[in-house]
Amino acid sequence: MSVHIGGKPGDIAERVLLPGDPMRAKWIAETFLEDAVCYTEVRGMLGFTGTWKGQRVSVQGSGMGMPSASIYTHELINEYGVKSVIRIGSCGALALDLNLGDVIAAIGSATDSNMNRTRFDGLVDYAPVADFSLLRKAVELAEAQGTPIRVGSVLAADGFYTDRPDLYDSLADYGVLAVEMESAAIYTIAARYGAKALTILTVSDHIKRGEAMDSAQREKGFTNMVKIGLDTAIA
Ligand SMILES: O=P(O)(O)O[C@H]1O[C@H](CO)[C@@H](O)[C@H]1O
Ligand SMILES: O=c1cc[nH]c(=O)[nH]1
């Protein structure tokens, strides 16, 4: 057991899908994995291990925001020997040519978080990036599945609600596709401890257009993302 995960050593696969929502972890385990076993219920942040296409995969809720995602990423890598983490999350689109249900792979993650400013004494703006081998596999597998995937940068924001929509406009001007809340921390911690990380997102909301998914679109869009994530994890 680690401080925040109830599994024993060996209970967790070397490849882990990391949705923010623990109920999404449960849905993935029940819908996609064979022989899924729940290894942790600590704090209700559910984690499961099963098989996908005959290979062992885990799916672990990481919570909302970078402090929470940092804890799970750190413990998975350092206490359970996890080698690759693939975040599968929802996001709010900024780019006008993105639509609800579209799938994004985050090649890089800008952030308004202070976590890396603290790490580097405010002297360096560290650039959190995806592992290229995972990113390349995800793009290839998405194309093989017939799911268009948009590769670009995202904003990992500390807040879900913002008083500064003007900053989102500026970021969109610089090519930032969408906003979510964890990728920068996951990329940074994976890099620090020698693991691979990727973030795949489904557009659940359009921030500029004020649109939000209905439940049917949410399910279909998330299914495509989860299959890309699982196939990438075992590739
Ligand atoms: O759907 P998940 O993975 O939780 O991701 C997004 O949704 C949450 C906000 O609603 C934040 O965690 C954000 O990053
Ligand atoms: O607008 C959104 C939608 C999902 N997740 C976010 O962080 N923001």
Nearest CA to ligand 1 atom 8: 64
Q: Does ligand 2 come within 6 angstroms of the Cβ of 92?
A: yes
pLDDT bucket at 220, cuts 50 / 70 / 90: low
* CATH number of the domain residue 94 falls in: 3.40.50.1580
CB-ligand 2 contact for 204 (6 Å cutoff): yes
Residue with tokens 């590769």, as numbered in its chain: 151
Question: What span, in angstroms and rounded, lies between the C-alpha atoms of 167 and 145?
Answer: 35
> Which ipTM value was assigned to this complex?
0.96
Domain membership flag for residue 10: no
* Confidence tier at 79 by pLDDT (50, 70, 90): very high
Does residue 5 sit within a domain?
A: no
Q: Is 180 in the pocket of ligand 2 (CB under 6 A)?
A: yes
How far does the centroid of ligand 1 lie from the alpha carbon of residue 62, in Å? 10
Ligand 2 pocket check for 158: Cβ under 6 Å: no
9 assigned to some structural domain? no
Confidence class of residue 218 from pLDDT cuts 50, 70 and 90? Answer: low
| Atom 8 in ligand 2: residue holding the nearest Cα | 92
pLDDT at 153: 98
- Asked whether residue 3 is domain-assigned, the answer is no
Looking at every residue in the chain, the average pLDDT score rounds to 96
- Our count of domains for the chain comes to 1
Ligand nearest to the CA of 205: 2
Q: Determine how β-strand 84-93 pairs with β-strand 196-206.
A: parallel
Residue 4 lies in a domain: no
Task: Tell me the catalytic residues.
Answer: 205
The residue whose CB lies within 8 Å of the most ligand 2 atoms, and thus the one to mutate among 204, 211, 222, is 204
What are the tens digits of pLDDT across the range 161-180?
999 999 999 999 999 999 99
Q: Are the C-beta atoms of residues 65 and 158 closer than 8 Å to each other?
A: yes
Percent of the chain with pLDDT over 70: 97
CA of 182 to the centre of ligand 1 (A): 8
Residue 77 is part of which domain span? 15-234
Taking residues 125-136, report their average pLDDT.
98
2 located within any domain: no
C-beta of 89 in contact with ligand 2 (< 6 A): no
Is the CB–ligand 1 distance for residue 64 below 6 Å? yes
Would you say residue 213 lies in a domain?
Answer: yes
Is position 1 within any domain?
no
